[in-house]
Amino acid sequence: MDRMLVVVFDNESKAYEGRNALKQLDSEGSISVYAYAVLAKRADGSATVKQGDDGGPLGTLLGTSMGSLIGLLGGPAGLAIGATAGMVTGLAADLDNARIGDDFIEDVTKVLTPNRVAVVAEVDEDWTTPVDTRMEAIGGTVFRRALSEVKHTANQEEIAAMKADVAQMKAELAKTHADRKAKLLEKITQLDSKIEAQLQKHKDRRQAAERQSQAKAEVLKAKAAAAKASAS
């Protein structure tokens, strides 16, 4: 199952131990790690990405789920991007792109307090024991959430409502005075723009989800090829 993991530690040293443990679990085949980052919360509440991994196809993931989650965890104080973290594009993140609920963000931020450090990772894991056992031994607090499915259709009710408004305003055009027509046309134009923006937003999300699925498939294919090569 594809999940987002956040493991919170008391300090940076422990966080790097956690990162190494994740990579070890990946190499053992216990989990598949698609992308990760080490996120530190500063004393003033802002956050800094200390280290990330965006090699190869993983970079296409980070503008969606990972980047959005990191941006959300940065909180209202903002996110300071470290020198090794050029992969972060989630500053304008939202929960739809992160594909998780706001309760998950609330749970994590209660523990990810100033001066604490977290390992954030997008993984595929069949069971939770390997990660939990390894992280708890290091002193980490594990949060996980299955990634929700990205909707492939726009919010039909919202768009239908806007289209109904447009239709009504167009019907009024034939009955209204000239001085009122300009205002109605302006409102119609504004609603048409909103409808197009909504459709484009969902199209972008659908394409991002497709890129993410392709990138994950490439990661798994590369791992399978490496395993086959080492066995031969």
What would the pLDDT profile of 11-54 be if each residue is shown by its tens digit?
999 999 999 999 999 988 899 888 888 999 988 878 888 766 54
pTM: 0.67
Task: Find all residues with CB under 8 Å of 105, minimum gap 6, and list them.
Answer: 69, 72, 73, 95, 98
Q: Are 139 and 117 in contact (CB under 8 A)?
A: no
Half-sphere exposure of 59 (CA within 13 A, CB side): 6
pLDDT bucket at 221, cuts 50 / 70 / 90: confident
C-alpha distance from residue 191 to each of 36, 165, 185 (Å) = 40, 8, 10
Kindly state the average pLDDT of the residues 174-201: 81
At 156, the amino acid letter reads Q
Kindly state the average pLDDT of the residues 58-69: 58
Say yes or no to pLDDT of 81 above 90: no
87: nearest Cα among 109, 111, 70: 70
Kindly state the average pLDDT of the residues 162-191: 81
Sheet holding 31-41, edge to edge: 79-81, 47-53, 31-41, 117-125, 2-9, 141-146
In sequence order, what E strands does the chain have? Answer: 2-9, 31-41, 47-53, 79-81, 117-125, 141-146
The three-class DSSP label of residue 1 is coil
Report CA dihedral (173, 179, 184, 190) to the nearest 10 degrees: 140
- Give dist(CA 44, CA 35) in Å, integer: 27
pLDDT given at position 149: 55
pLDDT in tens, 96-137: 666 777 778 888 989 999 999 999 998 888 888 899 999 999
Say yes or no to pLDDT of 8 above 60: yes
pLDDT given at position 76: 56
- Give dist(CA 148, CA 117) in Å, integer: 25
Average pLDDT of the chain is 77
